Amino acid sequence: MESGKQLTELRTSTGMNRKEFCEYFGIPYRTMTDWELGNRHMPEYLFRLMAYKVKMEHPDSLLENPPLTK
């Protein structure tokens, strides 16, 4: 699965929209949009950290086991 789709899946598993997710992580909206649409590549380590934080802080998220690799 490509990283943009993984990121979108991670975000939607929290029930947050893109703006809320950006504010939660302190990431510029445009950067998140570019990552999700595949216009820019998000570093894998950053995705793994985000997935970990979501799993720890949102254990009730719809995504039980967020993918940790590309």
Q: Is the dihedral of CA 10, 13, 19, 23 positive or negative?
A: negative
Residue 22 scores a pLDDT above 70: yes
Instruction: Say which residues have a Cβ less than 8 Å from residue 39's Cβ, sequence separation at least 6.
Output: 33
Is residue 13 within 8 Å of 45, Cβ to Cβ? no
Residue 54 scores a pLDDT above 70: yes
Assigned CATH topology for domain 3-57: 434 Repressor (Amino-terminal Domain) (1.10.260)
For the chain, domain boundaries: 3-57
15: left (phi over 0), alpha (psi -120 to 50) or beta: left
Read off the pLDDT of each residue in 41-58 and give the average, rounded to a whole number.
92
What pLDDT was estimated at residue 57?
87
User: Rounded to a whole number, what is the largest CA-CA distance in the chain?
Assistant: 30
pTM of the model: 0.79
Lowest mean pLDDT among 19-23, 34-38, 51-55, 65-69: 65-69
Per-residue model confidence as pLDDT tens digits over 23-46: 999 999 999 999 999 999 999 999
